[in-house]
Amino acid sequence: MYKRILVAVDGSDTSQLALQEAVNLTKESGGQLRIVHVVDEVTFDLYREVVDPGEIQKAITKSGEAILSKAQTAVRAAGVTAETRLLEIQKLGRRVTDMIAQEADAWPADLIVIGTHGRHGFNHLLMGSVAEGVVRIATKPVLLIRGK
């Protein structure tokens, strides 16, 4: 049974489904839940000539905190306690997938739960898949929750 469950959320409907599944697993196991969200400050800093990077950083951090707060509220309503963690990419070359997998190792999680949008073809080529990336590099088991 998984006792330490890490769930990654991005505010999408699909990540809400992953959060619900993580809550159910936490209830069944009597374990611990950690909710993470990753913000990429480096990508937005590349546009410093166009806009104030400090303002962008504040906005994306605030957005990430709001996503975690909403997730925390949903978890509490379901009768589960969880801790949240905002993970920030601050170096060029780091990826969201790296941050999630490294957090799972550092915590240490027994299971990673993440939603997948199930994109195929050209959309998959353009958008990529964080879930797929996590599956490829994680040293922990990963449970993928398919979006509707």
Q: Domain ranges in the chain?
A: 4-146
pLDDT at 12: 92
Burial of 134 (0-12, 13-18, 19+ CB in 10 A): buried
pLDDT at 84: 98
Q: Could you tell me which residues are beta bridge partners of residue 36? A: 8, 85
Q: Which of 10-14, 29-33, 90-94, 110-114 has the lowest average pLDDT? A: 90-94
CATH topology of domain 4-146: Rossmann fold (3.40.50)
Among residues of the chain, what percentage have pLDDT more than 70? 84
pLDDT at 112: 98
**pLDDT band at 124; cut points 50, 70, 90:** very low
Per the CB < 8 A criterion, the answer to whether 137 and 3 are in contact is no
Query: If you compute the radius of gyration of the chain from its CA atoms, what whole number of angstroms results?
Result: 15
- Pairwise CA distance, residues 128 & 133, whole Å: 8
- Pairwise CA distance, residues 19 & 92, whole Å: 29
Mean pLDDT, range 107-133, rounded to an integer? 76
pTM of the predicted model over 0.85: yes
The letter for the amino acid at 88 is E
- Pairwise CA distance, residues 106 & 100, whole Å: 10
Q: Which residue has the higher pLDDT, 17 or 90?
A: 17
pLDDT tens-digit map of 42-74 = 665 555 555 666 777 888 899 999 999 999 999
pLDDT at 126: 44
